[in-house]
Amino acid sequence: MFDVVQILNYLFEIFSSNMMDIPLIAPIVDFLMQIPLLNILVALILWKPFFAVVIMPGLGVLMLYLLYIVWYERKLTARVQWRVGPLEVARPIRGAIQTLADGIRYFFQEAIVHREAHRPYFVQLPLLAFIPVLLPILFIPAGSAVGIYTPYSIQLIVTFLALIPITIVAIGWAANSRFAYIGSVREAFIYFAYEVPFIIAVISMIFLYSSGDAYVAVEKQSMIPGALLNPIAFIVYIIAMLMATSRLPFDIPEADQEIAFGPFVEYSGILFGLVMVLAYEKLYIMTLLFTILFLGGWSGIYCPLLGDLNGPLWLFIKTVVVISILVIVRSIYARYRLDQALRIGWTSMLALSIMALIVGGVVGVWLS
């Protein structure tokens, strides 16, 4: 009994030593901290590493973002194409909880595993795919809140992002259907086409800031945002981001009209729900990195009432605004053929990224 109390006290010490300081909810927190056992929970939630990973730029707002972006994308595309879009679920707010309704439906739908599938992999891989998607959140700092601080955070995020297509290719292989096969082969092709320019663009930004530390990157952008410091890397990053997340001009692996959602064609029920949001989560992570590298990260107008929440909030707002602008390309462009996309990736984008590398080196010398 004594040990348990001691351990709890020890944990409470750790949590309360590094808490988010938010003046807006300070009275409530102070009141809750006086209640035994509840205070350790409050301290855990407001503990900076936990807050960063589970709540603000992490899982909590990721869920909110998913609910928002799927509806927003459908609605925006519908408006541009003179349709109405999702409407009948919650009509007064123009169908805003459509995604929630879809999610609940996926949850209770039967997840069919067809006979030809490699059963263990087929069921496991949608869940395994979340590991490389969610691990970068650990290393993405937002103001003073950061899961694990490391001076190599940008490199680590890029590394985990590079792992995601492997799970998608594996999903296509495990599904063992012709559409899934074509989809995973296309995914592999596209993967090589965008990954090289993407990594070179990120390396050019690391050259520019002469560090892989997100804090240094944000600090050096305090005067001029990275998008102006290295506009070529900015363009390459945006195009690579569209390719990596299968946005419409490069919707090649998932091409609805040709191969019916590619690698994910055989999934149903909650497994489909999981693999469907994979691209959106990847988009979220990539845009967080994009915001840190090019748009000044979490720096913004400081509101004293929010205290430590300023950083995560600004990062989140910038991310959502960038994604909201990006999804409009879906309603403008038609899909490229695989060979066209590969040509873009291996010629112009590669050339642009190498130019970005030179610009990054030159500006980096000028900045230091």
Partner 1 sequence: MIRLEKVRTDPVETLKRHAEAFGEAVKQAIKPDRITVEYPRERRRYPECFRGFIVFDKDKCISCFRCAQICPANAIQMEYFDNAYPGIDYSKCIFCHFCVDSCPTGALNTSKVHDVAFKTMEEMKLSAKNITKIPDIVREEILTVDYYVDKNVWKLVKKKELDKLEVEPKPVVVKARKAACAEPENCLGCRLCVNVCPQKAIAVERCEITIEEEVTGTGCILRVDTEKCTGCGLCVRQCPMQILTLEEVGE
Distance of CA 367 to the CA centre of its chain: 29
What kind and span of H or E run contains 196?
A: helix 178-209
Asked if 238 and 329 touch (Cβ cutoff 8 Å), the reply is: no
- When the beta carbons of 131 and 332 are compared against partner 1, the nearer one is 332
Burial of 99 (0-12, 13-18, 19+ CB in 10 A): buried
Question: Least distance to partner 1 from the beta carbon of 81, Å?
Answer: 8
Beta bridge partners of 131: none
Question: Least distance to partner 1 from the beta carbon of 78, Å?
Answer: 9
Question: Least distance to partner 1 from the beta carbon of 76, Å?
Answer: 6
Distance (Å, rounded) from C-alpha 229 to C-alpha 223? 10
Name, in order, each residue with C-beta under 8 angstroms of 355's C-beta and a sequence gap of 6 or more. Answer: 232
Distance (Å, rounded) from C-alpha 151 to C-alpha 139? 10
What is the DSSP code string of 60-72? HHHHHHHHHHHHH
Question: Least distance to partner 1 from the beta carbon of 83, Å?
Answer: 7
Question: Least distance to partner 1 from the beta carbon of 84, Å?
Answer: 5
Distance (Å, rounded) from C-alpha 170 to C-alpha 163? 11
Task: Return the structure tokens found at 158.
Answer: 């890029």
Distance (Å, rounded) from C-alpha 268 to C-alpha 155? 35
Closest listed residue to residue 355, CA positions, set 239, 184, 236, 261: 236
Q: Do you know the residue count of the chain?
A: 368
Binding site for partner 1 (CB under 8 A): 76, 79-80, 82-84, 87, 328, 331-333
Task: Return the structure tokens found at 227.
Answer: 């998008």
Beta bridge partners of 142: 145
Name, in order, each residue with C-beta under 8 angstroms of 342's C-beta and a sequence gap of 6 or more. Answer: 189, 190, 193
- When the beta carbons of 91 and 115 are compared against partner 1, the nearer one is 91
- When the beta carbons of 7 and 332 are compared against partner 1, the nearer one is 332
Question: Least distance to partner 1 from the beta carbon of 121, Å?
Answer: 40
Question: Least distance to partner 1 from the beta carbon of 230, Å?
Answer: 20
- When the beta carbons of 79 and 178 are compared against partner 1, the nearer one is 79
What kind and span of H or E run contains 361?
A: helix 350-367
- When the beta carbons of 84 and 228 are compared against partner 1, the nearer one is 84
What kind and span of H or E run contains 301?
A: none
Task: Return the structure tokens found at 30.
Answer: 């102070």
Distance (Å, rounded) from C-alpha 198 to C-alpha 249? 17
- When the beta carbons of 3 and 88 are compared against partner 1, the nearer one is 88
- When the beta carbons of 224 and 332 are compared against partner 1, the nearer one is 332
- When the beta carbons of 28 and 80 are compared against partner 1, the nearer one is 80
CA-based Rg of the chain, rounded to a whole angstrom? 22
- When the beta carbons of 19 and 327 are compared against partner 1, the nearer one is 327
- When the beta carbons of 78 and 111 are compared against partner 1, the nearer one is 78
